[in-house]
Structure 1
Amino acid sequence: MSSTLDRKNLLWEGSRMFLPEHREALSRQREKQEDFIPPELDEDQLQEINRIILEALHSDFPVLVKYVKNKRLHQSCGFIKKVHPDEHWLKIANGHHEEIIPFSAVCGVEKE
């Protein structure tokens, strides 16, 4: 078979076009497929995350926090500076960059 598609309508093959509505629909479909769905954490995993966060807060060693933001998986490496149990967030700092991460967004914590 040749390198061109065997479609019998070669005159119009190079000038295909999408309607704007179709292009938007395809774009939304691609974005939806790329959305990160966080895993359900069981009680043991939540306790392990809590233990590492508290240990890092008191012992001052760096951690890698994996969290969901805007339906995407993000990672932040640094030191836990503050944990606010009433407002349900933690602050992680790396040099001059600080980030506040809600507890509900956290899906993993690892020692660095």
Structure 2
Amino acid sequence: MSEILDRKNMLWEGSRMFLPEHRQALAEQRARADDFIPPELDDDRWDEINRLILEALHSDFPLLIRYVENRRPRERCGFIQKIIPHERRLCLADGRHLYTISFADIYDVEPVSGGD
């Protein structure tokens, strides 16, 4: 018997059970523990992100955008194709695919150097 289950209470040792509600709550708690929580951004950082996105749109240089998708961190590198202000989204093209990213999911943006 494992040390976790060996509680010296032999009367109740064999009658452990989980109610379906408890099993579901435990599974949800474990899933939430693995969620990525992006850093909180202050107004100055949001202004910098906004400036970089607008500058990349007008000057046509690539950006590395870090964002959250399905509670996991993602990053994409590409060119800003368009901004959809009423939907609060932008379209990013990497040469093969076009990605639509919500502004609310973005937590970091940086210009990509040429690497020449």
CA positional deviation for 1:27:
5.7
CA positional deviation for 1:33:
2.1
**CA RMSD of the aligned region, Å?**
2.6
Mapped to 1, the partners of 2:98 and 2:23 lie a distance apart of 38
| Matched residues, number | 101
CA positional deviation for 1:31:
2.9
Mapped to 1, the partners of 2:25 and 2:42 lie a distance apart of 36
Q: 1:65 — aligned with what?
A: 65
**1:43 and 2:43 correspond:** yes
The 5 A counterparts of 1:92-111 are 92-111=92-111
TM-score when scaled to structure 2?
0.71
Q: 2:4 — aligned with what?
A: none
Q: 1:4 — aligned with what?
A: none
Mapped to 2, the partners of 1:33 and 1:23 lie a distance apart of 15
Q: 2:3 — aligned with what?
A: none
> What amino acid is the match of 1:37?
I
For structure 1, list consecutive stretches of 5 or more residues without a partner in the other structure.
1-18
Q: Which moved more, 1:81-90 or 1:27-36?
A: 27-36
User: Which 4+ stretches in 1 moved above 6 angstroms?
Assistant: 21-26
Query: Identity of aligned pairs, percent?
Result: 53
Mapped to 1, the partners of 2:84 and 2:24 lie a distance apart of 41
Q: Secondary structure at the match of 1:86?
A: helix
